[in-house]
Amino acid sequence: MHSVSIFLPDDRATRQLGKVLAKSLPKRSVVLLEGDLGTGKTTLVQGIGESLGITETIVSPTFTLINEYTQGRLPLYHLDLYRLQPAEIEIIYPETYWEWVEVPPGITAIEWAQRLPYKPSDYLNIHLTFNLEGGRQAKIERVGELDFDLGILDSEFPNLNLE
């Protein structure tokens, strides 16, 4: 199974998805978040942070580009590429946050990942979209060799669809 789709009726569900994912994501994981303005990318990262034991408030680094949270079980690197064009992103070396040479290994979450000019080899891709009747839809895809079993979402989200 490489991809699943989950209905998220409210922001609590989006946050819960982040929590469940972070419980099982290994150190050195990258989560690429795609989706239009306001689809819930930051909300999901807040759930990841909560699961890692980060008590600081996680806000979108729209202007700072990156926020680092080091007080949890693993460091969390939260990037937001909204304000950048692919050519500008190249200059900031996003690979710093998935090569784990210059920063201690942890979890990297990148909002507006569709703007990346190149991507890591292994990652979890999450595409959030608005649902017509309210809520959001999350399509989650495991790419490359990431050591993560999408099957764990089955018990937490009964309305999960396998693709």
Is position 10 an interface residue for ligand ATP (rule: CB under 6 A)?
yes
As measured in angstroms, the least distance from the Cβ of 160 to ligand ATP is: 14
Buried b (16+ CB within 10 A) or exposed e, 87-97: eebeeeebeeb
User: In a 3-state reduction of DSSP, which class is residue 97?
Assistant: helix
State the Cα–Cα distance between residues 46 and 32, nearest whole angstrom: 14
Is position 60 an interface residue for Mg ion (rule: CB under 5 A)?
yes
> The tokens of 80 are what?
């937001």
Please name the residues in contact with 41: beta carbons below 8 A apart, sequence gap of 6 or more: 33, 35, 60, 111, 112, 128
Which one of 42, 51, 108, 125 is in contact with ligand ATP (CB under 6 A)?
42
Is position 37 an interface residue for ligand ATP (rule: CB under 6 A)?
yes
Is position 111 an interface residue for ligand ATP (rule: CB under 6 A)?
yes
As measured in angstroms, the least distance from the Cβ of 39 to Mg ion is: 9
The pattern of x and - marking residues 132 through 161 that bind ligand ATP according to CB under 6 A reads ---xx-------------------------
Is position 106 an interface residue for ligand ATP (rule: CB under 6 A)?
no
Is position 49 an interface residue for ligand ATP (rule: CB under 6 A)?
no
| Element (DSSP H or E) covering residue 76 | strand 76-80
Is position 90 an interface residue for ligand ATP (rule: CB under 6 A)?
no
State the Cα–Cα distance between residues 120 and 33, nearest whole angstrom: 13
Please name the residues in contact with 148: beta carbons below 8 A apart, sequence gap of 6 or more: 24, 25, 26, 29, 124, 142
Query: Which residues in the 23-52 window bind Mg ion by CB under 5 A?
Result: 41-42
Nearer to ligand ATP, 51 or 144 (CB): 51
List interacting residues with ligand ATP (CB under 6 A): 8, 10-11, 13-14, 35, 37-43, 60, 111, 135-136
